[in-house]
Chains A and B, each alone.
Chain A
Amino acid sequence: MDGAPLTSVALCGSGLALWMSAAAFSKSLPNSVQMTVVDTDPNPASDMFYGHVLPPQFYDFHLSIDLSEPELLLNTGSTFVFGTQMQNWAQPGRSWVQAFHQPLPVWEGVPLMKLIQQHPHATLQSTLISAQAAKTGVFAHPSEDPEHPLSRAEYGYAINPAELSRLYKAVAMRRNLQLISAQIETVTRKDDTVTSLTLTDGQRVEADLFIDCTGPSAVLRAKGLAPANKSRSVTAKLSRNADTPLGAPVQRVSGSDAGWRSDVVLRSGALRLTVADTSSELDGNAASFQIGRAEKAWHGNTIAIGHAASILEPFTVAPMKLLLRDIERVQSLLPVSSDMRIEAQEYNRAARNDYDHASLFNQAHFAVPDLPDTPYWQTAAVKNDAPKLVRKLTQYNGRGYLVEYDNEPFDAVDWAVLHDGMGRTPHRADPLAAAIDPETVQSCLDTLRKNIKAVVERMPPHPIYMSKFIAYLHRKYSRNG
């Protein structure tokens, strides 16, 4: 083996990135590796820029760290979401539900998506049960029966990053780890390698591998390692309202001339994130964020994750997806020795791809000709010429073909719903779709919609489902101790 074996890992930073990775590592790091957590801030303001929705992929992540859904619900104010209701996005009236949904059916050898691409825009939305339930305000857990319409729905959670961080911390502390609460004062390096951190309480932390979870400031990043690929900046502000009653299982994102705002309602109150261009005066605790990514997330023996590595706007779940991918990527490439060049190379390649592909999805929200003539929208549109995005849009606009790249964080359904929501209509019908008798398509479509409607009508309103579900969990867990 080249280099000494890996014996210690230090996670440094704060909030969601810190405790989510600590929870993951507490399960996956071998016991022979010493794990140290340096918590620099119990409640970092920048966590608002991860957004307030966990995509469906977090369900499996939670299973992998032995965190059950009941635990999540009983220990945080989280609620269910079927997706994001986009409202007046870039133009008054451009609204759709960016729903979480399983792949769409295939009829007569042609994907449903292709069959209805030239139907009015309401058509695709009407075939997505999660979109219909979100709009109606109802919720039930997706059915296990693959024949049931509700089995096609997927859901995520609306969360408060501070509550979730506390829960992840409790999970992480099930393992024997060293926890230090202090700020980082100096970072000592030898060439590319961080040898130790000196903390404000005078302690020194040494480790073979450092995970930088310090947010946008990326405290462990080497000086001179440029924060490359940065583009525009935006200003964001978080406000809370403890009295908002629970409503539909959906996040709402509304566009305005100055930018956008996101609203979620948790059982512990409502969270509103307002984002605008930097010239806008957002009163109160506003912070500014620069969109972009670090050139190399893994440098020497330091891996930057979450905001320390990349920042995207949370009007989609892109930031949460990237944070999850960062953590999974570190786990799959955890180095075995102090010589980590091969792992770092692969990590940086994959991280770059993930960021690029997630940012395509966000950028596609700006790729329309009718953007408001205001600084926020006009600055955002500058990157519409990214070649990979142009390819996706050209192929879709041509005849509705969905180009997919390797391991994209957003899948074909996400893209189809987005294209449709943004009002893109393919110029031509897919030739094979056009060969199918329109009446057959219409009658299949009618049946599908009727079935969805019937199920949605029987589903309970989200607040009622939630309160009954929580009451049930309380009974069950108090009975079982």
Chain B
Amino acid sequence: MDDRRLKNIVIVGGGSAGWMTAAALSSLLDPRNISVTLVESEQIGTVGVGEATIPDMINFNRILGIREAEFMKATDATFKLGIQFVNWGRLGEHYFHPFGQHGADMQGIDFHHYWLHAQQNGSANPIEDYSLCAVAGKANKFALPAQDPRSVMSKIRYAYHFNATKYAKFLRVYAEKRGVRRIEGKVETVSVAPGSGDIQSLALDNGKRIEGDFFFDCTGFRALLMRKTLGVEFKDWSQWLPCNTAQTIACEHTDALPSYTRSTAQSAGWQWRIPTQSRTGNGHIYSTDYMDDEAAQDILLANLDGTPIGQPRTIRFKTGRLAEFWHNNCVGIGLSSGFLEPLESTSLYLIQSGISKFISLFPSGSFSPIIAQEYNRQMCQEFDQVRDFIILHYKATQRDDSPFWNYCRTMSIPDSLQRKIDLFHEAGRMVRDENELFTRPNWIAVMLGQNLVPKVCDPIVATLPPEQVEHSLASMRQAITRATDQMPTHDGFIDKYCKAET
């Protein structure tokens, strides 16, 4: 039996990826047996602007034993009930992609069939009227979910908007308290063992040398270890996700604090609006094949809610992922491992997933390739599934007002996505893989929101009298409206629950 164990884990790069990895490992490992070292440089900035998340974030913090209010105060966080998409299906249209479900499934048949039946019989309510998260979000309200499953308030699902730089700092305190050693310095050279190809040590600009037997590449787009050192191939997805640049800037708040993210499609990409407690994060993501930087900045600045804070920053990227996430004794986490647009706020989730899959496959001291293979199989599948969902937003558009949208509307898409679209379009069927991150209601919200409507509804529902269906739907709408009326405003809730110290 092989008893060698990992003794020195080295994380290269701070930021969300680095500190989330450090925090998760420190919550699990005994520093007397395994040391965890994180190397970061103050000289290298992090990409983190205002960051939006999905509900899985709650689990990550819970596993670490972090109290929600404490975390929210420290990171300037607000609540998020979903995303509003503006101008995606057609110019002038908008829809809400809420967390959680629409309506209630009845007699084993998905709710959207009842909704479809009502539409075919003249009802005009969009499907988001049946989501408590959407209705409350649009009213800038918020409350925590109720425990009683019979209460409509139990349907609340939420995530956060926060300042990612502050989150990294917060996790740094957490991790250092649990024995993670932080070393300041910029990595200058990486030494690789001649035979095995394993990474052995790092030399820093301040002369320090750091040895380790396992490494995490959290160096962001630079992918210093995975790509520059180990030469892992990058799978380019720009034929499906052509945006390659972002201009970002924060601005001051105006009016009420929104409890949702907004994504507005522009002529060659889209613009986000992410409210944190003290300011609003904004970014315009576009393709330089269709728009130059200057025009993109102008659009960004022309579409801010309030006075800009500072100057726009330009970030270049390429969409895609590594062919291998785990290579030899190194795992890539975060932007170094792949980038999908923040359209569905999946960046931090993919970090979280990379870490938890690593933990479940935790290696011993001798690296058997079979563990890495399994990790890679799971991570590739996860990235590919999320990719399909994001491509859906671009593909399912009717916009023909710009070359960019003409490209997206007519581009060929992965077979796996085409299959989902065909099944939904034919008769409102939604199939998904068992472990897929985005569930049926997510897909349905975007498909219907962008006018991808099934040709027919479920044959059983079709035979129901329209009045009976409308009656059920009306009572659902009523329950949601009533619950929303009773909820506090998002501002008011945050003031009481987790107001950040300024």
Contact = CB atoms under 8 A, between A and B. Distances in A.
Interface of A: 1-2, 6, 28-33, 64, 109, 332-337, 342-343, 345-346, 349-350, 391, 394-395, 398-399, 401, 403, 406-407, 427-428, 430-432, 434-435
B435 to A, nearest CB: 7
Contacts of A31: 463
A336 B28 contact: no
B496 interface: no
Contacts, number: 82
Nearest to B368: A398
A431 B374 contact: no
B459 A33 contact: yes
Contact of A401 (B30, B371, B462, B463): B371
Contacts of B108: 64
Interface of B: 1-2, 5-6, 28-30, 33, 108, 359-364, 368, 370-371, 373-374, 419, 422-423, 426-427, 429, 431, 433-435, 455-456, 459-460, 462-463
A428 B30 CA distance: 20
B433 A406 contact: yes
B456 A1 contact: yes
Nearest to A408: B434
B426 A342 contact: yes
A353 to B, nearest CB: 10
A341 to B, nearest CB: 9
A141 B368 CA distance: 44
B370 A432 contact: no
Contacts of B422: 342
Nearest to B464: A30
B28 A401 contact: no
Majority secondary structure of chain B interface residues (helix, strand, loop or mixed): loop
B328 to A, nearest CB: 17
A30 B462 contact: yes
Contact of A336 (B1, B371, B427, B435): B427
Contacts of B426: 336, 342-343
A407 B432 CA distance: 10
B32 to A, nearest CB: 10
Contacts of A346: 419, 423, 429, 431
Contacts of B28: 109, 432
Given A33-B459, A395-B370, A428-B364, A435 B427 contact: no
A391 to B, nearest CB: 7
Contacts of A30: 459-460, 462-463
Contacts of A29: 460
Q: Which residue among B364, B423, B426 has the maximum number of chain A CB atoms within 10 Å of its CB?
A: B426
Given A30-B462, A32-B462, A336-B459, 12 more contacts: A332-B431, A333-B429, A334-B459, A336-B427, A343-B426, A343-B429, A346-B423, A391-B373, A399-B368, A427-B1, A431-B6, A435-B29
A398 to B, nearest CB: 5
B459 A399 contact: no
12 contacts: A29-B460, A32-B459, A109-B28, A334-B459, A343-B429, A346-B419, A346-B423, A398-B368, A401-B361, A431-B6, A432-B359, A432-B362
A6 B462 CA distance: 13
Nearest to A118: B1
A243 B55 CA distance: 59
Which 4 residue pairs across A and B have the least CB separation, nearest first? Answer: A30-B459, A407-B434, A336-B427, A30-B460
Contacts of A406: 433-435
B460 A431 contact: no
Contacts of B462: 30, 32
A28 B107 CA distance: 10
